[in-house]
């Protein structure tokens, strides 16, 4: 009996909207404390729900570099970002004075080396370290929760 291939997880975006989806790059910021992996989440600007730092592509940056830049701006952290993504997830970005925008986020692991006290978006966001299990339970997107639960540095 041959091992079966893992079943691909569908992105939770309506098939018609998938054609209109926008790409974003996100950072799964982590550290290891006393042998335990911790994940850094930040609050979104509008709804204040827990999310990972993420943003739009930038012409002069690779996707991994763009994710790392967002981690610096949104969470005040720097570190070593892996160039290979750990997965993708989808969500609906609620735009001010517009319909929501379907987004597909490619997620990159970033091992945090430094956490600054002062950073670009500190007045707009909170940041907090969680265990993987706690972080997965805090985020609203089921696909992101699965990526966090399965994450092994």
Q: What is the pLDDT of residue 13?
A: 52
Residue 8 lies in a domain: no
Looking at the domain assignment, is residue 1 inside a domain? no
Tokens, residue 120 = 């670009």
> Which pLDDT score is estimated for 62?
96
Q: Is 13 exposed, middle or buried (0-12, 13-18, 19+ CB in 10 A)?
A: middle
In this structure, is residue 56 part of a structural domain?
Answer: yes
Identify whether 86 is part of a domain.
yes
In order along its 153 residues, the chain shows pLDDT tens digits of 445 544 444 555 555 555 578 899 999 999 999 999 999 999 998 889 999 999 999 999 999 999 999 999 999 999 999 999 999 999 988 767 667 788 899 999 999 999 999 998 999 999 999 999 999 999 999 999 999 999 999
Distance, in Å, from the CA atom of 74 to the CA atom of 107, rounded to the nearest integer, reads 15
The terminus-to-terminus CA distance of the chain in angstroms comes to 32
CA angle 35, 107, 146 (to 5 degrees): 65
pLDDT the model gives residue 47: 85
Residue 7: per-residue pLDDT: 47
Phi, psi (rounded to 5 degrees) for 74: -85, -30
pTM above threshold 0.75: yes
Q: Would you say residue 141 lies in a domain?
A: yes
Q: Is 27 contained in some domain?
A: yes
| Residue 82, in any domain of the structure | yes
CATH label of the domain that carries residue 88: 3.90.79.10
Q: How many distinct structural domains can be found in the chain?
A: 1
What integer pLDDT is reported at residue 14 of this predicted model? 56
Contacting residues for 1 by C-beta, under 8 A, at least 6 apart: none
Degrees (nearest 5) of the Cα angle 147, 145, 11? 75
Say if residues 126 and 74 touch (Cβ distance below 8 Å). no
pLDDT on residue 1: 46
Residue 43, domain member (yes or no): yes
Structural domain that includes position 130: 16-150
Q: Please answer whether residues 135 and 56 qualify as being in contact, where contact means their C-beta atoms are separated by less than 8 angstroms.
A: no
């Amino acid at each position: 009996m041959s091992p079966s291939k893992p079943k691909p997880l569908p992105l939770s975006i309506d098939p018609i909207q998938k054609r209109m989806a926008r790409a974003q790059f996100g950072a799964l910021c982590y550290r290891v404390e006393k042998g335990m992996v911790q994940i850094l989440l930040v609050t979104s600007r509008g709804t204040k729900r827990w999310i990972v730092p993420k943003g739009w592509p930038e012409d002069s940056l690779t996707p991994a570099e763009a994710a790392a830049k967002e981690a610096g701006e949104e969470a005040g952290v720097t570190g070593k970002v892996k160039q290979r993504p750990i997965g993708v997830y989808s969500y609906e970005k609620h735009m001010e004075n517009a319909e929501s925008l379907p987004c597909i986020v490619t997620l990159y692991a970033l091992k945090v080396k430094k956490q600054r006290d002062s950073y670009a978006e500190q007045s707009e966001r909170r940041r907090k370290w969680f265990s993987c299990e706690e972080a997965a339970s805090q985020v609203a997107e089921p696909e992101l929760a699965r990526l966090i639960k399965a994450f092994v540095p």
